[in-house]
Structure 1
Amino acid sequence: MVEEIDYEGLPQNAGLGVHMLAGALAGISEHAIMFPVDSIKTRMQVFGASPAAIYSGVGNAFTKISSTEGMRALWRGVSSVILGAGPAHAVHFGTLEAVKELAGGNESGNQWLATALAGGSATIAADAFMNPFDVIKQRMQVHQSQFRSFLSCATTVYRAEGFAAFYVSYPTTLAISIPFNAIQYTVYEHIKRVVNPGNEYSPQTHIAAGGIAGAVAAAVTTPLDVAKTMLQTRGAASAQDIRNVRGMLDAFKVIWARDGVRGFGRGLTPRVLTTMPSSALCWMSYEFFSAPRIFHPRVP
């Protein structure tokens, strides 16, 4: 008699590798598809930009950039994401599943603490790997960036600012990512268990739960993301107060002095627009690639 493997009942000897591969594939899909909107988000968060790089909204940004720089400008820096996102997401999802299992998150009931701990732990490891790639990406995304290749950007930043430039934003990145992933993963798991109590493979469930979870997490952490962008692009700024920013608190002071409370919401709309579908795609891809029917045949 042929018996179906339960949806989340992956064989123990292949579980971690499967989850890491699924995470890598999901991460590349997530970031590459939504990259143009992410580029707009970065530009809207840059302080002291020239009038040509000030946008009233996402639609205005698309129109301005396409008419003055061409649509290719919105894809500048995508190579950095492709190089870094796969391995970083493999680390993220591998850690996520390992910690979730150790903390009892796979047991019955809503294991809020276990899923939050798993989400937070996963991002510490993943962001340590991804942070330099993110710095390079944002340096290439800014208006009138001098960089056209990943290698030239990495080399120039290293020679001009040293290795520390690739990690000056790491504490702020963690300050964003830990609550972001904890919120996203917890909301995702909760919604999934409510609307799909049978734990069956359901693309609609994964898309809806992932989109809502991503939107909530993105909105809550936007002020920290504005500070991170300032830290990662400070070397390209002409204003001395921005170039002198050394950490998250310095960035908050400059944001407040320049734009008040409104400054902390810069890029909120494109950040949510980017994160909501990309999170939905990420979770759908992850669940799809990690499903037993993809990696494992039916067993007797």
Structure 2
Amino acid sequence: MSDEDEYEALSPNAGLGVNMLAGALAGITEHSVMFPVDSIKTRMQVFATSPAAVYTGIGNAFTRISSTEGVRALWRGVSSVIMGAGPAHAVHFGTYEAVKEMTGGNREGSAHQWFSAPLAGASATIASDALMNPFDVIKQRMQVHQSEFRSMFTCASTVFRNEGFSAFYVSYPTTLTMTVPFTAAQFTVYEHVKKFMNPRGEYSPLSHIVAGGVAGGVAAGLTTPLDVAKTLLQTRGTSGDPEIRYCRGMLDALKIIWRRDGLRGFSRGLTPRVVTHMPSNALCWLSYEFFSASHDFIPLCLR
């Protein structure tokens, strides 16, 4: 096998544009495939006032939602994810690779590798979440029980008209508080598990899948409490409870969760969140590594 064909030699030469395209394709694939489980997670995290909207687990939620609302209800809001995930993941992976390169993370044997991946991951998520947050708000408003919205554009215009532009970013500080450690943990675990399984750095689907799944599960479990707070903030406009409806930020949300459900409240949706992130993260990294390794044909697809 020639040097040009080696997987490890491809990524550094791929360029920022290819990394961004790979990230966009990976992000759309990741979010679309696992969307129904994400919908269940959102519903389990919402503090519902109706017994019909209280679910005891993934199986219970799937059975009840599909039997009363139809299976299509589990896909409500997916258009917002598809529209937002491509650009957001392009920015995410583009920033990640750029920062990693600048901090010496791509140099073999460099002492900078231990802090390069977390720094690159954190930087990437700050940039991408600024773009993705409004789309995530729209998605969750469409996912909740008895949502009035069937179109993301109708949802966006209604939220803007009734609650103002700030409604799309009220959860952004919470999102960053959650996703910076999430992404730092995810990239760190991924890089080290991949290196352990695949020390030669060759294109290896199995190592990418396993490393991505482990990284996603660990990061998702660690950050679930903040994800519950984020969901409360992003869906507050759909609540008939005045305390939730006028919740002002992350600290208010955490206090509400603690008062109403104690420690148990911070683990709401833990199982579907981990179930979502393990395969979706594995698929995301597999897609990203594949498209990065195949960068020589990607430009042809754009012509």
Q: Same fold (TM over 0.5)?
A: yes
Shift of 1:4: 2.9
Shift of 1:295: 3.2
Letter matched to residue 23 of structure 1: G
Aligned residues: CA RMSD:
1.6
Question: Which residue in the other structure is 2:95 paired with?
Answer: 95
Which runs of 5 or more structure 1 residues have no equivalent in the other structure? none
Partner Cα distance (1:2, 1:249) in 2? 56
Question: Which residue in the other structure is 1:259 paired with?
Answer: 261
Shift of 1:3: 4.7
Question: Which residue in the other structure is 1:17 paired with?
Answer: 17
Partner Cα distance (1:237, 1:102) in 2? 45
| Secondary structure in structure 1 of the residue aligned to 2:140 | helix
Matches within 5 A, 1:31-50: 31-50=31-50
Candidates 235, 244, 247, aligned match of 2:246:
244
Matches within 5 A, 1:1-300: 3-10=3-10, 14-109=14-109, 111-292=113-294, 295=297
Letter matched to residue 281 of structure 1: L
Shift of 1:112: 1.9
Shift of 1:6: 2.9
Shift of 1:293: 6.2
Partner Cα distance (1:153, 1:245) in 2? 20
Deviation track 1:117-159 (CA, whole Å, cap 9, x = no partner) reads 0000000000000000000000000000000001000000000
Letter matched to residue 45 of structure 1: Q
| Secondary structure in structure 1 of the residue aligned to 2:240 | coil
> Could you say if the C-alpha distance between residues 253 and 267 of structure 1 is closer, same or farther in structure 2, counting changes exceeding 3 Å?
same
Letter matched to residue 102 of structure 1: M
Shift of 1:49: 3.7
Conservation of the 8 A alpha-carbon contact between 2:42 and 2:140: yes
Partner Cα distance (1:294, 1:260) in 2? 53
Q: Normalising by structure 2, what TM-score?
A: 0.95
| Secondary structure in structure 2 of the residue aligned to 1:8 | helix
Shift of 1:292: 3.9
> Could you say if the C-alpha distance between residues 289 and 49 of structure 1 is closer, same or farther in structure 2, counting changes exceeding 3 Å?
farther
Partner Cα distance (1:48, 1:252) in 2? 16
Conservation of the 8 A alpha-carbon contact between 2:35 and 2:75: yes
Conservation of the 8 A alpha-carbon contact between 1:226 and 1:266: yes
Shift of 1:244: 1.7
Percent identity over paired residues: 72
Partner Cα distance (1:236, 1:2) in 2? 58
Conservation of the 8 A alpha-carbon contact between 2:78 and 2:139: yes
Partner Cα distance (1:213, 1:87) in 2? 23
Q: Normalising by structure 1, what TM-score?
A: 0.96
Partner Cα distance (1:27, 1:166) in 2? 21
Report which stretch shifted further, 8-17 or 130-139.
Answer: 8-17
Deviation track 1:215-245 (CA, whole Å, cap 9, x = no partner) reads 0000000000000000000000001110121
Partner Cα distance (1:63, 1:259) in 2? 25
Partner Cα distance (1:139, 1:36) in 2? 15
Which runs of 5 or more structure 2 residues have no equivalent in the other structure? none
Shift of 1:33: 0.3
Conservation of the 8 A alpha-carbon contact between 1:288 and 1:294: no
> Could you say if the C-alpha distance between residues 182 and 3 of structure 1 is closer, same or farther in structure 2, counting changes exceeding 3 Å?
closer
Conservation of the 8 A alpha-carbon contact between 2:291 and 2:298: no
Conservation of the 8 A alpha-carbon contact between 1:115 and 1:185: yes
Letter matched to residue 163 of structure 1: F
Count of residue correspondences? 297
Deviation track 1:237-292 (CA, whole Å, cap 9, x = no partner) reads 00111012111000000000110000000000000000000000000000000004
| Secondary structure in structure 1 of the residue aligned to 2:56 | coil
| Secondary structure in structure 1 of the residue aligned to 2:4 | coil
